[in-house]
Amino acid sequence: MIILIVIFIIFICWEIYETIYFRSEKFLTIKRRIESYVNNCNELNSHIESLKNTYLGINQLDYGQARYHDESRWNYKRPELKKQKYEPNIYNCSRTICDNARKQPFKYICKYFNIKATEESLSQFENVLNNFESAEQGKFLLKSEKENILNSIKNDIPTLIRVFGKKKLEKKLGFQSIDFSTTYFPRYTFKYVSSGGNASMQCDVVMDIENLNRFVNYLSETVKFKKSVAGQRSLMTSALRQKIMQRDNYTCKICGASTYVEPNLLLEIDHIVPVSKGGLTSEDNLRTLCWRCNRKKGAKIEYPYSSQNISPVENNNT
């Protein structure tokens, strides 16, 4: 009992100490000093969140709506049927399909989730891969940048606050929390439920970075490319991203920012002529941009060609 009272008193004292500290002029001065860095982190954080929302424009057919009544008298015996879900990313199927989907997931995803092996869907998945990979890298760079900022004010913050109130300290300094979960990766589910509702089997295919890379390769082998494109096109995979960054010496081609100066800078790969305007995923149409420049560019609807662009858009009047 006494121990409990002591713990309670310590807790109350700690709360009071924290409250007084976070209101003190000393803390507010530190907060103001690093404000612009914190804002920069938060901006990157919301950029990462927007990358995660990259639209997968497939499987958007409107199949209509129907009414359904289950009037059977033996409902109570069907636990698996009760759990049955009907969502666009779930395909309720026979046991055989579920089993086959486990062995050849990509083939069955294409067939039952209506993903056609076309250049358009390939480009979409490449775009998703490119953005998700930036998001995944961004999360860890952001974490590291946040640690750097916290480290720089380490000596000005009381040890007790730093050690026992780290989460609250970050919040009070204005840092948004970073979402490290990977639940945003698209998931395709094949689900079999027996007609009696007592047995079920499920096959989940999560399109994480590794599977997206493999899926892009899979699609590219099935796509029949137009003659003008065949042979000129590369695949936007993790390997190509890495190659382009290396070629550009890890430097943004617009503002010149580089990871040599800013080790935690998030670099992204950009299509100089956008895919939507007929730009190819080829090495000469790709360049490295820092996330800030890429974000600014993405915000523009019309992209003006500049002199540094690749040859196909230059005119021959000269």
In the complex, minimum distance from the CB of residue 282 to Zn ion, in angstroms, rounded to a whole number: 22
In the complex, minimum distance from the CB of residue 133 to Zn ion, in angstroms, rounded to a whole number: 18
Q: Select 169 or 245, whichever has its Cβ closest to Zn ion.
A: 245
Question: In this chain, which stretch among 37-45, 130-138, 285-293, 307-315 interacts with Zn ion, using CB under 5 A?
Answer: 285-293
What residues numbered 207-266 form the site for Zn ion, per CB under 5 A? 252, 254-255, 257
- The residue type found at 304 is P
168, 171, 176, 181: CA torsion to nearest 10:
10
In the complex, minimum distance from the CB of residue 91 to Zn ion, in angstroms, rounded to a whole number: 42
Q: Select 161 or 254, whichever has its Cβ closest to Zn ion.
A: 254
In the complex, minimum distance from the CB of residue 212 to Zn ion, in angstroms, rounded to a whole number: 25
Question: In this chain, which stretch among 7-15, 35-43, 125-133, 283-291 interacts with Zn ion, using CB under 5 A?
Answer: 283-291
Tokens 């990979």 appear where? 133
Q: Select 174 or 298, whichever has its Cβ closest to Zn ion.
A: 298
Distance CA 280, CA 274 (A): 8
What residues numbered 286-315 form the site for Zn ion, per CB under 5 A? 290, 293
In the complex, minimum distance from the CB of residue 266 to Zn ion, in angstroms, rounded to a whole number: 10
* Pairing outcome for strands 187-193 and 286-290: unpaired
Q: What are the C-alpha distances in Å from 172 to residues 32, 125, 168, 231?
A: 11, 39, 6, 54
Q: Select 28 or 255, whichever has its Cβ closest to Zn ion.
A: 255
Q: Select 127 or 259, whichever has its Cβ closest to Zn ion.
A: 259
Distance CA 318, CA 305 (A): 17
Q: Select 172 or 253, whichever has its Cβ closest to Zn ion.
A: 253
Q: Select 78 or 292, whichever has its Cβ closest to Zn ion.
A: 292
In the complex, minimum distance from the CB of residue 293 to Zn ion, in angstroms, rounded to a whole number: 3
Q: Select 236 or 252, whichever has its Cβ closest to Zn ion.
A: 252
In the complex, minimum distance from the CB of residue 276 to Zn ion, in angstroms, rounded to a whole number: 22
Number of residues interacting with Zn ion: please give it, by CB under 5 A.
Answer: 6
What residues numbered 35-94 form the site for Zn ion, per CB under 5 A? none
In the complex, minimum distance from the CB of residue 3 to Zn ion, in angstroms, rounded to a whole number: 57
Q: Select 177 or 249, whichever has its Cβ closest to Zn ion.
A: 249
Distance CA 118, CA 219 (A): 8
In the complex, minimum distance from the CB of residue 291 to Zn ion, in angstroms, rounded to a whole number: 8
Question: In this chain, which stretch among 55-63, 129-137, 162-170, 282-290 interacts with Zn ion, using CB under 5 A?
Answer: 282-290
For Zn ion, the binding residues (CB under 5 A) are 252, 254-255, 257, 290, 293
